Amino acid sequence: MLNTFPHLLVLGFFAPMLLRVAVACLFFCAAYAAHKNRAAVARLRFPVIGTASWAGNFTALVYAVIGLMLFFGGYTQIAAIAGAVAAFKAIVLGKNFDALFPYSRSTYVFVLIICLSLIISGAGALALDLPL
């Protein structure tokens, strides 16, 4: 089947960049929400470590680092793996620890799918990663 706009196919290298920046913005907002809800997170009881007053700030830091790596395209595949792990944790544990995971499960499913596609496709345009 013929493409309606065949001249736009040369811009396909920018598609991973758009996905990367969109997921980075989601992680930035999640980092802000985790930092804002750090008092509620301090009262949560985790399965292995029990209560942890540092869990909210640690989660905000992890989300911010993942967001920065994805936004600037540095070590994108590693950041996408970490983002996929965080999204999977949110899908599984989101109901019990809602202060750490501000989005709905369907949003985290999309984040997981986008992160898995970034692992395969790479960083795209305007990234610090260079394909070998």
Q: What is the pTM of this model?
A: 0.90
Distance CA 70, CA 25 (A): 9
In this predicted structure, what is the pLDDT of residue 129? 74
For 131, residues 6+ apart whose C-beta sits below 8 A from its C-beta are 122
Confidence of residue 131 (pLDDT cuts 50, 70, 90): low
pLDDT at residue 52, as a whole number: 81
- How far is the C-alpha of 27 from the C-alpha of 94, rounded, in Å? 15
Percent of the chain with pLDDT over 90: 59
The structure tokens listed for 122 are 């790479």
Mean local confidence (pLDDT), 30-56:
86
Which amino acid would we find at residue 117? Answer: S
State the Cα–Cα distance between residues 30 and 63, nearest whole angstrom: 7
Looking at 24-76, which runs of residues are DSSP E strands?
A: 45-46, 50-51
